[in-house]
Amino acid sequence: MSRKFFVGGNWKMNGDKKSLGELIQTLNAGKVDPNVEVVCGAPSIYLDFARSKLDAKFGVAAQNCYKVPKGAFTGEISPAMIKDCGVNWVILGHSERRHVFGESDELIGQKTAHALESGLGVIACIGEKLDEREGGITEKVVFAQTKVIADNVKDWSKVVLAYEPVWAIGTGKTASPQQAQEVHEKLRAWLKTNVSEAVANSVRIIYGGSVTGGTCKELASQKDVDGFLVGGASLKPEFIDIINAKA
């Protein structure tokens, strides 16, 4: 089964209307592979701005959401609010949410369930830290994180799994294409055993870990790498090269 290549740009807590407006102009004018699904993760305060300015061929994602539709949760946003801005995706479980803000696997699972029930697509992030990789427990960690997500998914067509080795985010270190492929292949095998063969074959597993214009082509050539979740490089013109990595 052919899986449509998926490239997400996670802008994180960066940009203002001026710089993001210029980035959006660059993306709108860029020549991008029509066979790639592209989604830009904007800061929540700029979701409306990004959706109104970006060409319709690009999707927009929130970078987080809460697990209920509304209520006394100061500072949070709900899937209903995200959808009200015309936005159809959310990034959940990013390593920064897990390790900077202390979100548990359980909370990420609850958010995933509610986002999907609300009709959002979910880019669900998993990945191990450096001490976990060096300790030889990469599989144990990513399988445990994946299980909590899987337990909260009824419709896998709305889910993209993003494998992000935490040790390769913002550190300048990148997992080699072979290291990325190895984990993606094992994740697909886990899905086959624990969810279904159909889901294992159809779900897109994308790689995020300091992806750049220089590393993207070889990573994209790996059998089980179905795209990228891009951090810093998604704020630069080279994001277009990354989108076109398969071209």
- Cα angle: 102, vertex 104, 107; to 5 degrees: 120
DSSP string, 109-169: HHHHHHHHHTT-EEEEEE---HHHHHTT-HHHHHHHHHHHHHTT-S-GGGEEEEE--GGGS
Provide the 3-class DSSP secondary structure of residue 54: coil
Tokens of 176: 């080699």
Q: Which residues carry out catalysis?
A: 94, 164
- Cross-strand pairs, 61: 41, 89
Q: What are the residues whose beta carbons fall under 8 Å from the beta carbon of 217, sequence distance 6 or more?
A: 245
- Cα angle: 172, vertex 174, 179; to 5 degrees: 165
User: DSSP character for 35?
Assistant: T
Tokens of 37: 């699904």
Q: What are the residues whose beta carbons fall under 8 Å from the beta carbon of 135, sequence distance 6 or more?
A: none
